[in-house]
Amino acid sequence: MHLCIRNRTVQKKKPLAKKDLIDFSNHYDDDKEFQAEQKRGEFLNDFPLTSLKKMTKERYAIGQPRPTFCDSVEFRTRSWAMIQGATADKFGIYFGKRKGSPKVTWQHPTRMGNNFEDAWQNTHNALIDLIENAQHKHPDFAKIDANPLTQMFKAKILSLYFPNKFINICSRDHLHELSSLFSMPEKLPTSEYQHRLINLKMDNEITRYWSNPKFMSFLYENFIRKEVTSTESIANKVTATTSLNHKEVNFDELQEQRNLIGKLAEEFAIEKEKERLKGAGLEHMISKIEDRRSRPGYGHDYLSWSTEDKPRQIEVKAVAKTGADSWRFFLSENEYQRSQESLENEWYFYLVFFDKNGPQALHICNSEEMYKQAEMIPASWSMYFDYHLKK
């Protein structure tokens, strides 16, 4: 059976089939989830709900010094949901040029007001109205749809601030397509479909434990189009190195550098982990993170949380570039053995990449997946022996 929607033909399949869910989960990229939740946490730190009523146009608009609210919603949280496209008019106001004019100044579409001050006031009021409506136990979906902020923009805002009510899918076409595939009532407000997809997720015994980014990726891969999202694990992008260089080194200097870089990497990683917890709705678990760096017997640097009742072991590694696409880090025998003993496979490498200014990117990889792909080379050994000295 096929269902034709908006001139597109989509294969009708059994919604949320258990086998499909399990197969998807087995190859889903944990790093993709981490990036999405970490960026949401960063956004909430920069723009807490309590700050919105006093937000200035300078803090709001694209074209002003970053981070601004609009820049963060569109660009900095791309891993949470993509809304790029159309012009800056979608934000209500912006600072920049209009087509046909070389002048850089405050701009606004006429739909938001006859002059700039009115446009900013109307844009700000629309944002506050959207937030206050969504905060109700039962939001007025028709009112959300009538809000003058553009569809993609307001849907992204709702998903960032209220992930328990609104899925992080922002396209009107995609929301309506999914509503048809899952046999939801016709002609409901678009925002209500965004809400009902959260209910669908929570009603399933498997997906209720998934994050919104993971569920969104499943929906796109299985029901919209596979090329929209990639679920390939970072571990699958790892291959064993093909050549080794044997350079002369100053070991004292090398160890000093390793200690400094390692400390910077650890500080960078744990801040990103705290943002991930906030972005995952686990802000209350941040205080329960354990710093285990001074107790090497554990074999990891930090004990954090994947869920409220599922601990996550984190080993931070500063990775060094050894070739065009080659990287390496050092792993002790104790770390290796402890990672093999991890319950529920919740032992993660937090890989910190550096540029000339210091730590610049963090990617995570489950230890089991890393061991399947990377090449392990002995770097040091502990030698135990008996020797009787002559008196």
The 10s digit of each residue's pLDDT in 34-67 is: 999 999 999 999 999 999 999 999 999 999 998 9
Supply the pLDDT for residue 14.
Answer: 61
Supply the pLDDT for residue 101.
Answer: 77
Mean pLDDT of the chain: 88
Instruction: Please tell me the distance from the alpha carbon of residue 211 to that of residue 218, in angstroms, as a whole number.
Output: 11
- Residue 279 predicted with pLDDT over 90: yes
The 10s digit of each residue's pLDDT in 345-363 is: 899 999 999 999 999 999 9
The 10s digit of each residue's pLDDT in 364-381 is: 999 999 998 888 888 766
Q: Are 279 and 36 in contact (CB under 8 A)?
A: yes
**Per-residue H/E/C for 92-144:** CCEEECCCCCCCCEEECCHHHCCCHHHHHHHHHHHHHHHHHHHHCCCCCHHHH
pLDDT bin (cut points 50, 70, 90) of residue 344 is confident
The 10s digit of each residue's pLDDT in 103-123 is: 899 999 999 999 999 999 999
Taking the model in full, what pTM does it have?
0.86
The 10s digit of each residue's pLDDT in 381-391 is: 667 766 766 66
**Contacts with 42 (C-beta within 8 Å, 6 or more apart), sequence order:** 76, 275, 279
Supply the pLDDT for residue 391.
Answer: 61
